[in-house]
Chain A
Amino acid sequence: MYPHERSLVKRLADKPFALIGVNSDPDKEALAARLKEENITWRSFWNGPKGTGGPISTKWNVRAWPTIYILDHKGIIRAKNKRGEAMDEVVDRLLAELERERAGAGEAKDDQGGR
Protein backbone atom coordinates (compact mmCIF):
# COMPACT_ATOMS: atom_id res chain seq x y z
CA MET A 1 0.00 0.00 0.00
CA TYR A 2 2.47 2.64 1.14
CA PRO A 3 5.02 2.00 -1.66
CA HIS A 4 2.41 2.63 -4.34
CA GLU A 5 1.19 5.79 -2.68
CA ARG A 6 4.72 7.04 -2.13
CA SER A 7 5.59 6.54 -5.79
CA LEU A 8 2.35 8.18 -6.94
CA VAL A 9 2.99 11.24 -4.78
CA LYS A 10 6.59 11.41 -5.99
CA ARG A 11 5.73 10.98 -9.67
CA LEU A 12 3.09 13.74 -9.53
CA ALA A 13 4.98 16.10 -7.22
CA ASP A 14 4.82 18.99 -9.70
CA LYS A 15 1.32 18.28 -11.01
CA PRO A 16 -1.96 19.72 -9.68
CA PHE A 17 -2.47 16.59 -7.60
CA ALA A 18 -2.87 15.81 -3.90
CA LEU A 19 -3.17 12.61 -1.94
CA ILE A 20 -5.25 13.40 1.13
CA GLY A 21 -5.68 10.80 3.84
CA VAL A 22 -8.30 10.30 6.48
CA ASN A 23 -6.35 8.45 9.11
CA SER A 24 -8.25 6.18 11.50
CA ASP A 25 -5.52 5.25 13.95
CA PRO A 26 -6.75 6.03 17.44
CA ASP A 27 -3.23 6.60 18.84
CA LYS A 28 -1.78 9.67 17.17
CA GLU A 29 1.51 9.50 19.07
CA ALA A 30 2.30 5.96 17.98
CA LEU A 31 1.34 6.91 14.46
CA ALA A 32 3.81 9.82 14.37
CA ALA A 33 6.70 7.36 14.64
CA ARG A 34 5.25 5.18 11.87
CA LEU A 35 4.88 8.20 9.56
CA LYS A 36 8.60 8.78 9.88
CA GLU A 37 9.46 5.12 9.46
CA GLU A 38 7.33 4.74 6.36
CA ASN A 39 8.18 8.18 5.00
CA ILE A 40 4.51 9.12 4.75
CA THR A 41 4.55 12.71 3.60
CA TRP A 42 0.98 13.27 2.49
CA ARG A 43 -1.47 15.15 4.64
CA SER A 44 -4.22 13.37 6.53
CA PHE A 45 -7.26 14.37 8.45
CA TRP A 46 -7.32 12.63 11.79
CA ASN A 47 -10.48 10.63 12.41
CA GLY A 48 -10.15 11.12 16.18
CA PRO A 49 -9.54 8.89 19.20
CA LYS A 50 -12.38 6.52 18.33
CA GLY A 51 -10.34 5.22 15.40
CA THR A 52 -12.47 3.54 12.76
CA GLY A 53 -15.55 4.73 14.68
CA GLY A 54 -14.50 8.36 14.28
CA PRO A 55 -16.73 11.12 12.90
CA ILE A 56 -15.42 11.43 9.33
CA SER A 57 -15.48 7.74 8.41
CA THR A 58 -18.83 7.33 10.17
CA LYS A 59 -20.38 10.17 8.18
CA TRP A 60 -18.94 8.83 4.93
CA ASN A 61 -20.24 5.33 5.76
CA VAL A 62 -16.76 3.82 5.46
CA ARG A 63 -16.84 0.21 6.57
CA ALA A 64 -13.74 -1.11 4.82
CA TRP A 65 -10.18 0.14 4.98
CA PRO A 66 -8.75 1.43 2.80
CA THR A 67 -11.66 3.14 1.05
CA ILE A 68 -10.66 5.44 -1.76
CA TYR A 69 -12.44 8.27 -3.57
CA ILE A 70 -10.88 10.02 -6.54
CA LEU A 71 -12.02 13.62 -7.14
CA ASP A 72 -11.41 15.78 -10.17
CA HIS A 73 -10.22 19.38 -9.92
CA LYS A 74 -13.80 20.58 -9.50
CA GLY A 75 -14.30 18.34 -6.49
CA ILE A 76 -16.56 15.90 -8.35
CA ILE A 77 -16.33 12.24 -7.31
CA ARG A 78 -15.08 10.45 -10.41
CA ALA A 79 -14.07 7.01 -9.08
CA LYS A 80 -14.23 4.88 -5.97
CA ASN A 81 -11.95 2.19 -4.60
CA LYS A 82 -9.50 2.11 -7.51
CA ARG A 83 -6.18 0.74 -6.33
CA GLY A 84 -2.73 0.31 -7.80
CA GLU A 85 -2.56 0.69 -11.57
CA ALA A 86 -6.27 1.40 -11.83
CA MET A 87 -5.82 4.36 -9.47
CA ASP A 88 -2.90 5.68 -11.55
CA GLU A 89 -4.98 5.38 -14.69
CA VAL A 90 -7.86 7.44 -13.31
CA VAL A 91 -5.57 10.08 -11.84
CA ASP A 92 -3.63 10.45 -15.11
CA ARG A 93 -6.87 10.71 -17.07
CA LEU A 94 -8.22 13.42 -14.75
CA LEU A 95 -4.94 15.34 -14.89
CA ALA A 96 -5.05 15.19 -18.69
CA GLU A 97 -8.64 16.40 -18.58
CA LEU A 98 -7.61 19.31 -16.35
CA GLU A 99 -4.75 20.22 -18.67
CA ARG A 100 -7.02 20.09 -21.72
CA GLU A 101 -9.55 22.28 -19.99
CA ARG A 102 -6.94 24.85 -19.00
CA ALA A 103 -5.51 24.88 -22.52
CA GLY A 104 -9.05 25.21 -23.90
CA ALA A 105 -9.85 28.09 -21.54
CA GLY A 106 -6.63 29.77 -22.60
CA GLU A 107 -7.50 29.44 -26.26
CA ALA A 108 -11.02 30.75 -25.70
CA LYS A 109 -9.56 33.81 -24.05
CA ASP A 110 -7.15 34.34 -26.87
CA ASP A 111 -10.00 34.07 -29.35
CA GLN A 112 -11.99 36.65 -27.51
CA GLY A 113 -8.99 38.92 -27.25
CA GLY A 114 -8.38 38.53 -30.97
CA ARG A 115 -11.84 39.62 -31.93
Chain B
Amino acid sequence: MRSPFCEVAVLLLAGGLAAQDPGANAAREEYAALMADLKAAQKAFQERLKALQATEEFQQAQKARDTGKLRALLDGIEQLDLQSFTGRFEAAAEKYSGTPEEAMFLAWIAQSSPDRDAVHRAVDALMERHLDSEHFAGFLEQGFAIARHYPAPDARAKLQQIAERSRHAAVRAHAMYLEAMMLQRDRNASADDKERAEALLTEALQLAEGTQLADAIRASQFERERLQIGMEAPDIVGEDLDGVPFKLSDYRGKVVVLDFWGDW
Protein backbone atom coordinates (compact mmCIF):
# COMPACT_ATOMS: atom_id res chain seq x y z
CA MET B 1 0.00 0.00 0.00
CA ARG B 2 1.29 3.42 -0.87
CA SER B 3 0.92 5.98 1.81
CA PRO B 4 -1.01 9.06 0.70
CA PHE B 5 1.02 10.94 3.26
CA CYS B 6 4.20 10.36 1.28
CA GLU B 7 2.71 11.84 -1.85
CA VAL B 8 1.53 14.90 -0.01
CA ALA B 9 4.96 15.27 1.56
CA VAL B 10 6.63 14.98 -1.84
CA LEU B 11 4.30 17.58 -3.32
CA LEU B 12 4.93 19.95 -0.46
CA LEU B 13 8.66 19.41 -0.75
CA ALA B 14 8.67 19.96 -4.51
CA GLY B 15 6.49 23.03 -4.15
CA GLY B 16 8.73 24.34 -1.41
CA LEU B 17 11.87 23.90 -3.47
CA ALA B 18 10.33 25.52 -6.51
CA ALA B 19 9.17 28.45 -4.44
CA GLN B 20 12.61 28.81 -2.93
CA ASP B 21 14.47 28.84 -6.19
CA PRO B 22 12.52 30.22 -9.13
CA GLY B 23 15.77 31.00 -10.95
CA ALA B 24 16.81 27.37 -10.97
CA ASN B 25 13.45 26.35 -12.40
CA ALA B 26 13.63 28.97 -15.10
CA ALA B 27 17.11 27.76 -16.03
CA ARG B 28 15.93 24.17 -16.22
CA GLU B 29 12.99 25.15 -18.38
CA GLU B 30 15.23 27.13 -20.67
CA TYR B 31 17.60 24.18 -20.96
CA ALA B 32 14.72 21.82 -21.77
CA ALA B 33 13.44 24.24 -24.43
CA LEU B 34 16.89 24.51 -26.02
CA MET B 35 17.25 20.73 -26.07
CA ALA B 36 13.79 20.41 -27.66
CA ASP B 37 14.82 22.91 -30.38
CA LEU B 38 18.01 20.95 -30.93
CA LYS B 39 16.12 17.71 -31.24
CA ALA B 40 13.75 19.25 -33.79
CA ALA B 41 16.73 20.59 -35.78
CA GLN B 42 18.37 17.17 -35.69
CA LYS B 43 15.17 15.55 -36.92
CA ALA B 44 14.83 18.07 -39.75
CA PHE B 45 18.42 17.42 -40.75
CA GLN B 46 17.83 13.65 -40.74
CA GLU B 47 14.86 14.20 -43.03
CA ARG B 48 16.92 16.29 -45.45
CA LEU B 49 19.50 13.55 -45.42
CA LYS B 50 16.91 10.87 -46.10
CA ALA B 51 15.46 12.88 -48.97
CA LEU B 52 18.94 13.25 -50.46
CA GLN B 53 19.64 9.55 -50.11
CA ALA B 54 16.42 8.79 -51.98
CA THR B 55 17.52 10.78 -55.05
CA GLU B 56 18.76 8.97 -58.11
CA GLU B 57 21.88 11.14 -58.23
CA PHE B 58 22.89 10.06 -54.73
CA GLN B 59 22.18 6.40 -55.34
CA GLN B 60 24.19 6.43 -58.56
CA ALA B 61 27.15 8.04 -56.82
CA GLN B 62 26.83 5.45 -54.08
CA LYS B 63 26.79 2.62 -56.60
CA ALA B 64 29.87 4.04 -58.30
CA ARG B 65 31.52 4.55 -54.89
CA ASP B 66 32.27 8.09 -55.99
CA THR B 67 33.22 9.48 -52.57
CA GLY B 68 34.02 12.94 -53.96
CA LYS B 69 30.58 13.23 -55.47
CA LEU B 70 28.90 11.84 -52.33
CA ARG B 71 30.70 14.35 -50.16
CA ALA B 72 29.68 17.20 -52.46
CA LEU B 73 26.05 16.08 -52.36
CA LEU B 74 26.13 15.79 -48.56
CA ASP B 75 27.73 19.23 -48.29
CA GLY B 76 25.01 20.56 -50.60
CA ILE B 77 22.16 20.10 -48.13
CA GLU B 78 21.53 22.44 -45.24
CA GLN B 79 23.63 21.22 -42.31
CA LEU B 80 22.70 20.99 -38.66
CA ASP B 81 23.84 24.37 -37.41
CA LEU B 82 25.57 23.46 -34.16
CA GLN B 83 27.43 26.76 -34.28
CA SER B 84 24.22 28.73 -33.76
CA PHE B 85 23.21 26.38 -30.96
CA THR B 86 26.61 27.00 -29.39
CA GLY B 87 25.76 30.71 -29.36
CA ARG B 88 22.40 30.08 -27.76
CA PHE B 89 23.84 27.82 -25.08
CA GLU B 90 26.58 30.37 -24.41
CA ALA B 91 24.00 33.15 -24.02
CA ALA B 92 22.03 31.03 -21.54
CA ALA B 93 25.20 30.16 -19.59
CA GLU B 94 25.96 33.88 -19.42
CA LYS B 95 22.44 34.63 -18.22
CA TYR B 96 22.72 32.09 -15.37
CA SER B 97 26.39 32.76 -14.73
CA GLY B 98 27.41 31.95 -11.17
CA THR B 99 24.40 29.72 -10.46
CA PRO B 100 24.68 25.93 -10.27
CA GLU B 101 22.46 25.66 -13.37
CA GLU B 102 25.04 27.46 -15.48
CA ALA B 103 26.88 24.13 -15.52
CA MET B 104 24.12 22.46 -17.58
CA PHE B 105 24.63 24.85 -20.47
CA LEU B 106 28.42 24.77 -20.19
CA ALA B 107 28.39 20.96 -20.16
CA TRP B 108 26.44 20.89 -23.42
CA ILE B 109 28.91 23.26 -25.09
CA ALA B 110 31.90 21.28 -23.82
CA GLN B 111 30.37 18.03 -25.02
CA SER B 112 28.71 18.89 -28.29
CA SER B 113 29.95 22.16 -29.76
CA PRO B 114 32.13 21.94 -32.85
CA ASP B 115 33.66 25.33 -31.93
CA ARG B 116 36.99 24.64 -30.25
CA ASP B 117 37.28 28.09 -28.67
CA ALA B 118 33.79 27.83 -27.21
CA VAL B 119 34.63 24.37 -25.88
CA HIS B 120 37.79 25.71 -24.23
CA ARG B 121 35.87 28.57 -22.63
CA ALA B 122 33.21 26.19 -21.36
CA VAL B 123 35.76 23.71 -19.94
CA ASP B 124 37.60 26.56 -18.20
CA ALA B 125 34.38 27.86 -16.67
CA LEU B 126 33.33 24.36 -15.58
CA MET B 127 36.71 23.82 -13.94
CA GLU B 128 36.66 27.21 -12.29
CA ARG B 129 33.16 27.09 -10.85
CA HIS B 130 31.56 23.66 -11.17
CA LEU B 131 34.11 21.04 -10.18
CA ASP B 132 31.69 19.53 -7.69
CA SER B 133 28.67 19.66 -9.97
CA GLU B 134 26.51 16.74 -11.04
CA HIS B 135 26.44 18.30 -14.51
CA PHE B 136 30.22 18.18 -14.70
CA ALA B 137 30.09 14.49 -13.74
CA GLY B 138 27.53 13.96 -16.51
CA PHE B 139 29.80 15.69 -19.01
CA LEU B 140 32.81 13.55 -18.08
CA GLU B 141 30.63 10.44 -18.25
CA GLN B 142 30.05 11.11 -21.93
CA GLY B 143 33.68 10.36 -22.62
CA PHE B 144 36.52 11.93 -24.40
CA ALA B 145 35.45 15.45 -25.30
CA ILE B 146 38.43 16.84 -23.39
CA ALA B 147 40.82 14.50 -25.17
CA ARG B 148 39.24 15.49 -28.48
CA HIS B 149 39.64 19.23 -28.05
CA TYR B 150 43.08 19.52 -26.44
CA PRO B 151 46.52 18.19 -27.34
CA ALA B 152 47.19 15.06 -25.25
CA PRO B 153 49.52 16.62 -22.62
CA ASP B 154 47.05 19.48 -22.02
CA ALA B 155 44.11 17.10 -21.80
CA ARG B 156 45.97 14.98 -19.28
CA ALA B 157 46.91 18.03 -17.21
CA LYS B 158 43.25 19.12 -17.16
CA LEU B 159 42.07 15.68 -16.09
CA GLN B 160 44.71 15.62 -13.33
CA GLN B 161 43.58 19.01 -12.06
CA ILE B 162 39.98 17.88 -12.07
CA ALA B 163 40.81 14.68 -10.15
CA GLU B 164 42.84 16.63 -7.60
CA ARG B 165 40.47 19.50 -7.01
CA SER B 166 36.98 18.07 -7.23
CA ARG B 167 35.25 16.77 -4.12
CA HIS B 168 32.61 14.96 -6.17
CA ALA B 169 33.43 11.23 -6.25
CA ALA B 170 31.99 10.62 -9.73
CA VAL B 171 33.83 13.63 -11.17
CA ARG B 172 37.15 12.46 -9.72
CA ALA B 173 36.60 8.84 -10.74
CA HIS B 174 35.76 9.76 -14.32
CA ALA B 175 38.72 12.12 -14.62
CA MET B 176 41.06 9.35 -13.41
CA TYR B 177 39.46 6.80 -15.72
CA LEU B 178 39.74 9.10 -18.74
CA GLU B 179 43.40 9.84 -18.06
CA ALA B 180 44.11 6.13 -17.64
CA MET B 181 42.40 5.38 -20.96
CA MET B 182 44.45 8.08 -22.67
CA LEU B 183 47.64 6.53 -21.30
CA GLN B 184 46.63 3.03 -22.29
CA ARG B 185 45.74 4.01 -25.83
CA ASP B 186 48.97 5.93 -26.31
CA ARG B 187 51.32 3.74 -28.33
CA ASN B 188 54.30 5.73 -27.10
CA ALA B 189 53.42 5.42 -23.42
CA SER B 190 56.34 4.45 -21.18
CA ALA B 191 56.37 1.70 -18.56
CA ASP B 192 55.85 4.42 -15.93
CA ASP B 193 52.81 5.67 -17.82
CA LYS B 194 51.32 2.18 -17.91
CA GLU B 195 51.92 1.82 -14.20
CA ARG B 196 50.31 5.19 -13.56
CA ALA B 197 47.30 4.10 -15.63
CA GLU B 198 46.91 1.00 -13.46
CA ALA B 199 47.12 3.04 -10.26
CA LEU B 200 44.54 5.53 -11.57
CA LEU B 201 42.15 2.72 -12.47
CA THR B 202 42.51 1.10 -9.05
CA GLU B 203 41.71 4.40 -7.35
CA ALA B 204 38.85 5.20 -9.74
CA LEU B 205 37.39 1.74 -9.15
CA GLN B 206 37.28 2.37 -5.40
CA LEU B 207 35.62 5.75 -5.88
CA ALA B 208 33.09 4.45 -8.38
CA GLU B 209 32.16 1.17 -6.67
CA GLY B 210 28.62 0.13 -7.51
CA THR B 211 28.31 2.36 -10.60
CA GLN B 212 28.47 1.71 -14.33
CA LEU B 213 31.94 3.21 -14.39
CA ALA B 214 33.14 0.48 -12.03
CA ASP B 215 31.76 -2.14 -14.44
CA ALA B 216 33.55 -0.46 -17.35
CA ILE B 217 36.84 -0.37 -15.44
CA ARG B 218 36.55 -4.03 -14.49
CA ALA B 219 35.77 -4.96 -18.09
CA SER B 220 38.77 -3.06 -19.43
CA GLN B 221 41.02 -4.73 -16.83
CA PHE B 222 39.57 -8.12 -17.77
CA GLU B 223 40.29 -7.45 -21.43
CA ARG B 224 43.89 -6.47 -20.71
CA GLU B 225 44.61 -9.32 -18.34
CA ARG B 226 42.64 -12.17 -19.91
CA LEU B 227 41.79 -11.42 -23.54
CA GLN B 228 45.12 -10.81 -25.23
CA ILE B 229 46.45 -12.82 -28.14
CA GLY B 230 48.34 -15.85 -26.78
CA MET B 231 46.16 -16.14 -23.67
CA GLU B 232 43.75 -18.96 -22.99
CA ALA B 233 40.24 -17.69 -23.65
CA PRO B 234 38.13 -17.45 -20.48
CA ASP B 235 35.23 -19.87 -20.55
CA ILE B 236 31.74 -18.66 -21.36
CA VAL B 237 28.92 -20.50 -19.65
CA GLY B 238 25.47 -19.66 -20.93
CA GLU B 239 22.47 -20.69 -22.94
CA ASP B 240 21.97 -20.84 -26.67
CA LEU B 241 19.06 -19.16 -28.44
CA ASP B 242 16.86 -22.20 -27.75
CA GLY B 243 17.64 -21.97 -24.04
CA VAL B 244 19.97 -24.98 -24.03
CA PRO B 245 22.92 -24.53 -21.66
CA PHE B 246 26.42 -24.88 -23.12
CA LYS B 247 29.99 -23.73 -22.60
CA LEU B 248 32.62 -22.29 -24.88
CA SER B 249 35.01 -24.94 -23.54
CA ASP B 250 32.73 -27.65 -24.98
CA TYR B 251 34.45 -26.79 -28.26
CA ARG B 252 37.99 -27.44 -27.07
CA GLY B 253 39.75 -29.52 -29.73
CA LYS B 254 38.23 -27.40 -32.50
CA VAL B 255 39.30 -24.16 -34.05
CA VAL B 256 36.67 -21.63 -32.94
CA VAL B 257 35.59 -18.30 -34.38
CA LEU B 258 33.83 -16.51 -31.55
CA ASP B 259 31.63 -13.84 -33.05
CA PHE B 260 29.88 -11.18 -30.94
CA TRP B 261 27.06 -10.32 -33.31
CA GLY B 262 23.60 -8.87 -33.56
CA ASP B 263 21.03 -8.72 -36.30
CA TRP B 264 21.06 -4.96 -36.92
Contact = CB atoms under 8 A, between A and B. Distances in A.
B149 to A, nearest CB: 22
A94 B229 CA distance: 14
Contacts of A20: 248, 251, 256-259
B50 interface: no
A22 B257 CA distance: 11
Interface in B229-256: 229-233, 236, 238-241, 246, 248-249, 251-256
A52 B254 contact: no
B228 interface: yes
Chain A interface residue bracket vs B = 35 or more
Chain B interface residue bracket vs A = 20 to 34
Interface in A86-105: 87, 91, 94-95, 98
Contacts of B219: 58-61
- Residues of B contacting A: mostly: mixed
B240 A44 contact: yes
Contact of A69 (B222, B227, B241): B227
Contacts of B238: 45-46, 56
B263 interface: yes
B215 interface: yes
B254 A45 contact: no
A98 to B, nearest CB: 6
Interface of A: 1, 5, 8, 15-25, 28, 31-32, 34-35, 38, 43-46, 51-52, 56-62, 65-80, 87, 91, 94-95, 98
22 contacts: A20-B258, A21-B259, A22-B260, A23-B261, A43-B241, A45-B240, A45-B246, A56-B236, A59-B222, A60-B227, A61-B219, A62-B260, A69-B227, A69-B233, A70-B258, A72-B255, A73-B254, A74-B232, A75-B256, A76-B232, A77-B228, A77-B233
Interface of B: 215, 219-220, 222-223, 227-233, 236, 238-241, 246, 248-249, 251-264
